C-alpha cells in the first residue's frame, strides 16, 4: 500500500481586511493536501503558511514535493512519519502539519472513530473560543465588536499608538471578557506603560507583548503584570517551552508553527509539566485546518479558533465555533467534508 499525495492551493478572502501589528491583507492562500491510500481512502489536511514564519503557498508546494518521498510505507506509523517528515522539510511547519493532519484523518477513518475519540478526549471539555477583532479605527472597531455579538469572548489586536483609544472604544460598547494580542508590537517600556490601561479595561489576558527573542523583556512584563501573559510568536515547538517557564503564564499552540499534531500534544504535556496554561490559536484558514486544531481543545484552557469564521466563504464543514462554543464533529478522522 502506498500513499499518493496531491494538493490544491485555495485563495481565501476575509470579510474585513485583517490587520495586526505587522501588516494587513484580505487575501490569503492556503493549501489543501490529500493523501490517498491504494484502496481509495483519503485523508485531508491544510497548510496555512505564514510569511512571518518563512512560508508561503509556493514554499508549501515546494516542500510537499520533498515530503512526498518521506511518507510512511505504513500510514498508521504516525510516530515514524513525524520524524521522517521533520528531516525532509525541517523549516516547513505548515506543510508538514497538513500531512500530519491528513495521516490522522486517514487513521481515524480506518478505525471509524473521530480523532478526539482516538485521543481519549471528552469534546464537552473544550473551552469557549474567542473571536478576534483586527486593528482598525476606534469607530470601525466598535462596529466589528457589534458584528461579533454572538461571540462571548473577544480578542482585540493591539500594538499601535492608538491602543488606548481602541480599548476604550471597545469597552464603551461591550462588557464581554477581553483579551489582547500585541503580536510583538510593543517595546518592553511600551508594554509596561500600558499595564494600568489594560487593568482598567479589565483585560484578562495579554498575548505576546514584546519581541519573541526578548525573553528578558517578556519576563519583565510578566513580573510587573497582574494580567496573565501568553507567549505566541515566542513559542513554536515543545523545545521552546522550558525556557519560557517563569517568563510567561501560558503558551499559544498553532499547528502552522509546530508542524505536527503529535508535536502539538507534546507541547501540551511540556506546558503542563511547567505549570503553564495552554491555548490553541490559528491562522486565517478554512474549517479543515481549524478542525485539526479543534480536536486538541478538550485538553486546553483557552481557544482562539476563529480563522474560518473570518472568511467570506469557507470551502469546508467541520468543527464549528457558533456562539463561541466549539463543537467537534462526530464523523471519523477529522470529520471534515466539502461544503
Ligand atoms: Mg497571537
Cα 36 to averaged position of ligand 1 atoms, centre (Å)? 34
Cα 7 to averaged position of ligand 1 atoms, centre (Å)? 28
Which ranges in 229-280 belong to alpha helices (H)? 241-244, 255-258, 261-273
Under DSSP, is residue 54 helix (H, G, I), strand (E, B) or coil?
coil
pTM over 0.75: yes
Kindly tell me if the per-residue pLDDT of 24 is higher than 90: no
CA distance linking residue 121 with residue 210, whole number of Å: 34
Under DSSP, is residue 229 helix (H, G, I), strand (E, B) or coil?
strand
131-150 pLDDT per residue, tens? 999 999 999 999 999 999 99
Q: Tell me what pLDDT residue 268 has.
A: 98
Cα 21 to averaged position of ligand 1 atoms, centre (Å)? 10
Cα 86 to averaged position of ligand 1 atoms, centre (Å)? 24
Terminus-to-terminus CA distance in the chain, angstroms?
30
User: 232 CB contacts (<8 Å, ≥6 apart)?
Assistant: 181, 183, 207, 208, 251, 252, 254, 281
Q: What's 176's DSSP letter?
A: S
Is residue 55 within 8 A of residue 87, CB to CB? The reply is: no
Count of Cβ atoms closer than 10 Å to residue 263 Cβ: 22
Cα 290 to averaged position of ligand 1 atoms, centre (Å)? 15
Cα 280 to averaged position of ligand 1 atoms, centre (Å)? 10
Cα 325 to averaged position of ligand 1 atoms, centre (Å)? 20
Question: What fold is seen in the domain 4-112?
Answer: Enolase-like; domain 1 (3.30.390)
Is residue 70 within 8 A of residue 90, CB to CB? The reply is: no
Mean pLDDT of 199-213: 98
Kindly tell me if the per-residue pLDDT of 26 is higher than 80: no
Mean pLDDT of 1-11: 92
Domain assignments of the chain as residue spans, ordered by start: 4-112, 118-338
Pairing between β-strand 250-253 and β-strand 277-280 as defined by DSSP bridges: parallel
Closest CA to 205 of 150, 144, 153: 153
Cα 211 to averaged position of ligand 1 atoms, centre (Å)? 12
* Top-level class of domain 118-338: alpha beta
Cα 327 to averaged position of ligand 1 atoms, centre (Å)? 22
Question: Taking ligand 1, which is a single-atom ion, which protein residues have CB atoms under 5 Å away?
Answer: 181, 207, 232
Cα 146 to averaged position of ligand 1 atoms, centre (Å)? 22
Q: Tell me what pLDDT residue 1 has.
A: 52
- Tell me the CB-side half-sphere exposure of residue 94, using CA atoms within 13 A: 29
Cα 217 to averaged position of ligand 1 atoms, centre (Å)? 17
Cα 9 to averaged position of ligand 1 atoms, centre (Å)? 24
Mean pLDDT of 169-187: 98
Cα 183 to averaged position of ligand 1 atoms, centre (Å)? 6
Cα 181 to averaged position of ligand 1 atoms, centre (Å)? 6
Percent of the chain residues topping a pLDDT of 90:
96
Of the pLDDT bands very low, low, confident and very high (cuts 50, 70, 90), residue 19 is confident
Longest CA–CA separation in the chain, Å: 61
Cα 18 to averaged position of ligand 1 atoms, centre (Å)? 13
User: 223 CB contacts (<8 Å, ≥6 apart)?
Assistant: none
Q: Tell me what pLDDT residue 334 has.
A: 98
Cα 78 to averaged position of ligand 1 atoms, centre (Å)? 28
User: 253 CB contacts (<8 Å, ≥6 apart)?
Assistant: 235, 264, 267, 268, 278, 279, 280, 281, 293, 296, 300
Cell of 150: 454572538
Closest CA to 201 of 236, 176, 228: 176
Cα 233 to averaged position of ligand 1 atoms, centre (Å)? 7
35-57 pLDDT per residue, tens? 999 999 999 999 999 999 999 99
Of the pLDDT bands very low, low, confident and very high (cuts 50, 70, 90), residue 20 is confident
Average pLDDT, the chain: 97
Cα 39 to averaged position of ligand 1 atoms, centre (Å)? 41
Amino acid at each position: 500500500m502506498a500513499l499518493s499525495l496531491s494538493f490544491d492551493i485555495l485563495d481565501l478572502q476575509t470579510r474585513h481586511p485583517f490587520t495586526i501589528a505587522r501588516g494587513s491583507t484580505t487575501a490569503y492562500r492556503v493549501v489543501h493536501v490529500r493523501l490517498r491510500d491504494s484502496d481509495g481512502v483519503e485523508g485531508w489536511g491544510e497548510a496555512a503558511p505564514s510569511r512571518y514564519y518563512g512560508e508561503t503557498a509556493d514554499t508549501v508546494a515546494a516542500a510537499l514535493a520533498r515530503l512526498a518521498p518521506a511518507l510512511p510505507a505504513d500510514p498508521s506509523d504516525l510516530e515514524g512519519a513525524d520524524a521522517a517528515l521533520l528531516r525532509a522539510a525541517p523549516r516547513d511547519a505548515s506543510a508538514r502539519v497538513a500531512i500530519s493532519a491528513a495521516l490522522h484523518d486517514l487513521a481515524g477513518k480506518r478505525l471509524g472513530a473521530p480523532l478526539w475519540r482516538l485521543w481519549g478526549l471528552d469534546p464537552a471539555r473544550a473551552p469557549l473560543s474567542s473571536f478576534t477583532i483586527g486593528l482598525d479605527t476606534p469607530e470601525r472597531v466598535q462596529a466589528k465588536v457589534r458584528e461579533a455579538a454572538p461571540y462571548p469572548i473577544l480578542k482585540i489586536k493591539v500594538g499601535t499608538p492608538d491602543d488606548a483609544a481602541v480599548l476604550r472604544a471597545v469597552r464603551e460598547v461591550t462588557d464581554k471578557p477581553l483579551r489582547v494580542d500585541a503580536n510583538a508590537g510593543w517595546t518592553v517600556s511600551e508594554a509596561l506603560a500600558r499595564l494600568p490601561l489594560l487593568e482598567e479595561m479589565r483585560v484578562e489576558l495579554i498575548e505576546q507583548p514584546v519581541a519573541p527573542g526578548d525573553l528578558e523583556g517578556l519576563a519583565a512584563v510578566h513580573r510587573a503584570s497582574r494580567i496573565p501573559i501568553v507567549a505566541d510568536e515566542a513559542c513554536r515547538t515543545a523545545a521552546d517551552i522550558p525556557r519560557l517557564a517563569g517568563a510567561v503564564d501560558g503558551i499559544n499552540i498553532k499547528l502552522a508553527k509546530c508542524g505536527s499534531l503529535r508535536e502539538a500534544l507534546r507541547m501540551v504535556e511540556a506546558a503542563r509539566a511547567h505549570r503553564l496554561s495552554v491555548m490553541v490559536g490559528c491562522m486565517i484558514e478554512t474549517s479543515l485546518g481549524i478542525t485539526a486544531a479543534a480536536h486538541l481543545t478538550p485538553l486546553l484552557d483557552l481557544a482562539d479558533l476563529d480563522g474560518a469564521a473570518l472568511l467570506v466563504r469557507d470551502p469546508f464543514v467541520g468543527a464549528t465555533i457558533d456562539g463561541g462554543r466549539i463543537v467537534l464533529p462526530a464523523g471519523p478522522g477529522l470529520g471534515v467534508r466539502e461544503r
